[in-house]
């Protein structure tokens, strides 16, 4: 029974990692290409991408499109 519980736990952990966090093609990591695409989309709606207060620059979800 313990092995089954461990296997289920590992499967859930790995599937959560595979899904990634947030948006973008890199699972939520703020790559140059993802930031550029987000900035272009934001600029099209009249805004500018800004890092949120206490945000981590490594994660795409920590940026927000702010209207000018």
Q: What tokens appear for 27 in the block?
A: 């699972």
Report pLDDT for 52.
92
Residue span of the structural domain in which 55 resides: 2-67
Residue 24: pLDDT band by 50, 70, 90 thresholds? Answer: low
How many domains, in total, are found in the chain?
1
Residue 64: pLDDT band by 50, 70, 90 thresholds? Answer: very high
């Amino acid at each position: 029974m313990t092995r089954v519980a461990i296997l289920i736990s590992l499967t859930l952990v790995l599937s959560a990692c595979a899904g990634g966090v947030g948006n973008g093609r890199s699972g939520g990591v703020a790559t140059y290409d993802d930031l550029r695409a987000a900035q272009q989309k934001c600029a099209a709606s009249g805004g500018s991408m800004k890092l949120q207060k206490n945000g981590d620059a490594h994660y795409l979800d920590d940026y927000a499109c702010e209207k000018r």
